[in-house]
């Protein structure tokens, strides 16, 4: 992240003739929200005087508690590099505060900051490197996204794949212009699916980056006549989109997961962290896999995890240990999907890991065999449990988790569960195409 | 990539064909008639025409939004078919963009003259841009060579001519471009 003072921001806005500034924050469901101001209100914004009506944001507050203040973080100042605009627009990511000057307990960024402070008090920094997958779909003639990844209506001189490749290349160029360090970018397994990985950074910066990343991807796709979707499983029968999350702790500048003496070169801290994550994972999935559709991805046969196990050798477990050691020692949590709220997802991962460390939890053995080939009895014998099978199960687990309640805080905990149960109920009570296809003629 | 290739974006296929007829009758190539903005964006990006003629009204977006994306990303010139109000709006908001408006109904003569002028200009601009880019590259190379020369002169006491000869000789002997040799010298000596 850059290091800017408020004066730096004022100077840059003037020098670059920026007309509008977006004061950005994220709601509890991970949707990016903005309050736009013109540049003459910049000073007011930097003095933390810009307000908005919290009741307009789902999950924030009821009408009576409406006034909320935005406190921009000058370090997150960035000018949008889109070429297709008449005026220059910049943004700053903000924390949300109550009128009395206390941080708003429903602000997901605050939730992450709180748990990061807890880690910092123990001497740890939490580093995260996400691998975001997404689909690029054609938009039909009415502007509605389809799930078609190649053009049916005509032909291209260059293959349809090239349009997606060009879009992805432009995404990387713009992300780099905005200060991202792109590790890799490539076409993923499923047709129309892409992946962009960016460099490890501390969790707050990474969560901010994930939000920015999604915005850039969607904007660039739009500028290519395509629609980018972070939906976890838009098409049944092909791979879904995950957000594998590489994570590690460091202490005093050294990677705390690394121990060259150990047979896997992992430290006791690492093992305890993994144990913590495995203990709480079922409750965590409501945050890391927040949609009804998320659970359509967590099924066998598509490289997504289903069972709760860790492995250094298998490619598709819940927790994988990538081969690098030394400073790049890390674990890869493979169940999260990119529809999650990154602040809440990273917060619960860290909280679970810290719980493992604080309570010195003992980690079960790794599972190197192919779990998908085991029957349920064998899995039970090995003590291998499964991830929740649907959103309802995940929310039920969340409800019963003291740790999650503590990390998320009562405000988010209650509202999130309430909203997710409504979402589930809406899904549950609709009649789906599958039911019509299966039952209409037969009965 | 054709120098006089045109893509049309208009939802009314009949109108699109009429425009196509006028243009092809004068020797221009109309590669595609698109019926939506998003289709136009995709086709322009893959077929790389010299010109996009788009109607302001499109079923999924406005021709102006399409123009902002196409012209903003310097993909090709955009000619928008507008009414008076739309023209005023576009011209007030897109001063720096390569977007021209023609008010409907557009006569055959006006259309052909405009297209001819736009394509000629765009060819000229592309040529100028290519020259400019080449000059930039040459300038960068020259700066690198000068820097390497300077370092050689400073660290090894060679004269300017001798330093230049040294870089040139190294380049000829190893088959590596002088730019790369200079970069190497700079890395080594700084």
Task: Show residues of chain B in contact with A86, CB under 8 Å.
Answer: 68, 93-94, 96-97
ipTM above 0.85, yes or no: no
Query: Over its length of 443 residues, how does chain A's per-residue pLDDT go in tens digits?
Result: 788 999 999 999 999 999 999 999 999 999 999 999 999 999 999 999 998 888 777 766 666 668 899 999 999 999 998 877 777 899 999 999 999 999 999 999 999 999 999 999 999 999 999 999 999 998 888 889 988 875 433 344 445 557 888 899 999 999 999 989 999 888 887 788 999 998 999 999 999 999 999 999 999 999 999 999 999 999 999 999 999 999 999 999 999 999 999 999 999 999 999 999 999 999 999 999 999 999 999 999 999 999 999 999 887 899 999 999 999 999 999 999 999 999 999 999 999 999 999 999 999 999 988 888 888 888 888 889 999 999 999 999 999 999 999 999 999 999 999 999 999 999 999 999 999 999 999 99
Considering A22, A244, A330, A415, which one is annotated as catalytic? A244
Catalytic residue list contains A280: no
Considering A73, A332, A390, A393, which one is annotated as catalytic? A332
Q: Do A84 and B72 touch (CB under 8 A)?
A: yes
Q: What are phi and psi of A280, to 5 degrees?
A: -100, 0
For the entire predicted model, the pTM comes to: 0.89
* Chain B CB within 8 Å of residue A139 CB: yes
Give the number of residues written for chain A. Answer: 443
Looking only at the bridges linking them, the beta strands covering B5-9 and B51-55 are: parallel
**Measuring CA to CA, how many Å separate A203 from each of A209, A266, A283, A344, A350?**
9, 21, 20, 11, 9
Task: Identify which has the larger pLDDT, B104 or A191.
Answer: B104
Q: Do B46 and A156 touch (CB under 8 A)?
A: yes
Considering A133, A208, A337, A355, which one is annotated as catalytic? A133
Question: If you write DSSP's letter for every residue of A41-110 in order, what string do you get?
Answer: GHHHHHTT--EEEGGGSTTT--GGG-EEEEEE-GGG-EE---SS-SSEEEEEEEEEE-TTSSBPTT-HHH
pLDDT of residue A62: 60
Scanning every residue of chain A, which has its alpha carbon at the shortest distance from the alpha carbon of B48? A157
Rounded to a whole number of angstroms, the distance from the CA of B161 to the nearest CA of chain A is 40
Q: Do B41 and A154 touch (CB under 8 A)?
A: no
Q: Do B42 and A225 touch (CB under 8 A)?
A: yes
Q: Do A225 and B41 touch (CB under 8 A)?
A: yes
The answer for residues whose C-beta is within 8 angstroms of residue A32's C-beta and 6 or more apart is A24, A26, A211, A214, A215
């Amino acid at each position: 992240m850059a290091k800017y003072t408020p004066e730096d921001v004022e100077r840059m806005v003037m020098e670059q003739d920026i007309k509008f500034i977006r004061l950005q924050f994220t709601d509890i469901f991970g949707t990016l929200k903005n309050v736009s101001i013109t540049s003459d209100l910049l000073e007011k914004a930097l003095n933390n005087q810009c307000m908005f009506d919290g009741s307009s944001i789902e999950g924030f507050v009821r009408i009576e508690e409406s006034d909320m203040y935005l406190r921009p973080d000058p370090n997150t100042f960035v000018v949008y590099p889109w070429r297709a605009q008449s005026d220059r627009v910049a943004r700053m990511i903000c924390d949300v505060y109550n009128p009395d000057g206390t941080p708003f307990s429903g602000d997901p960024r605050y939730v992450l900051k709180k748990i990061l402070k807890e880690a910092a008090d123990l001497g740890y920094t939490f580093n995260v490197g996400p691998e975001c997958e997404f689909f690029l779909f054609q938009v039909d003639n009415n502007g509605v996204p389809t799930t078609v990844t190649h053009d049916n209506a005509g032909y291209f001189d260059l293959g349809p794949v090239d349009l997606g490749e060009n879009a992805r290349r432009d995404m990387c160029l713009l992300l780099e212009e905005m200060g991202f360090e792109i590790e890799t970018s490539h076409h993923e397994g499923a047709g129309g699916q892409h992946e962009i990985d960016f460099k490890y950074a501390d969790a707050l910066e990474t969560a901010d980056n994930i939000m920015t990343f999604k915005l850039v991807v969607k904007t660039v796709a739009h500028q290519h006549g395509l629609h980018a979707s972070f939906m976890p499983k838009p098409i049944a029968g092909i791979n879904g989109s995950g957000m594998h999350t590489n994570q590690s702790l460091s202490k005093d500048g050294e990677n705390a997961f690394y121990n060259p003496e150990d047979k896997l070169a992992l430290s006791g801290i690492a093992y305890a962290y993994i144990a913590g994550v495995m203990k709480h994972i079922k409750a965590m999935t409501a945050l890391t896999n927040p949609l009804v559709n998320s659970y359509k991805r967590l099924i066998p046969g598509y490289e997504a995890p289903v069972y709760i196990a860790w492995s250094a050798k298998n490619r598709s477990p819940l927790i994988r240990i990538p081969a690098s050691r030394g400073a790049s020692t890390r674990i890869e949590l493979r169940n999260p999907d990119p529809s999650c709220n990154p602040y809440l997802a990273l917060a619960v991962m860290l909280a679970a890991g810290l719980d493992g460390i604080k309570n010195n939890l003992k980690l079960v053995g790794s599972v190197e065999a192919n779990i998908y080939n085991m029957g349920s009895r064998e899995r039970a014998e090995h003590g291998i449990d499964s991830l929740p099978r649907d959103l309802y199960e995940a929310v039920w687990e969340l409800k019963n988790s003291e740790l999650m309640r503590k990390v998320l805080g009562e405000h988010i905990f209650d509202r999130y569960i309430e909203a997710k149960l409504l979402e589930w109920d809406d899904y549950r009570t609709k009649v789906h195409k599958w039911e019509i296809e299966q039952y209409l003629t037969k009965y | 990539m054709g120098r006089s290739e045109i893509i049309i974006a208009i939802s009314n296929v009949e109108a699109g064909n009429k425009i196509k007829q006028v243009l092809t009758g004068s020797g221009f190539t109309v590669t595609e008639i698109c019926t939506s903005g998003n289709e136009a964006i995709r086709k322009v990006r893959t077929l790389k025409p010299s010109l996009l003629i788009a109607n302001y009204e499109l079923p999924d977006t406005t021709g102006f939004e399409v123009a902002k994306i196409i012209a903003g990303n310097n993909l090709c010139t955009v000619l928008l078919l507008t009414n008076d109000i739309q023209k005023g709006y576009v011209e007030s908001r897109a001063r720096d963009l390569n977007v021209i408006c023609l008010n409907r109904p557009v006569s055959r003569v006006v259309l052909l003259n405009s297209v001819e002028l736009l394509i000629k200009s765009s060819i000229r601009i592309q040529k100028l841009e290519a020259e400019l880019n080449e000059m930039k590259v040459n300038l960068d190379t020259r700066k690198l060579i000068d820097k390497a020369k300077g370092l050689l002169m400073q660290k090894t006491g060679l004269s300017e001519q001798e330093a230049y000869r040294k870089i040139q000789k190294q380049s000829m002997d190893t088959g590596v471009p002088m730019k790369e040799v200079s970069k190497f010298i700079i890395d080594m000596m700084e």
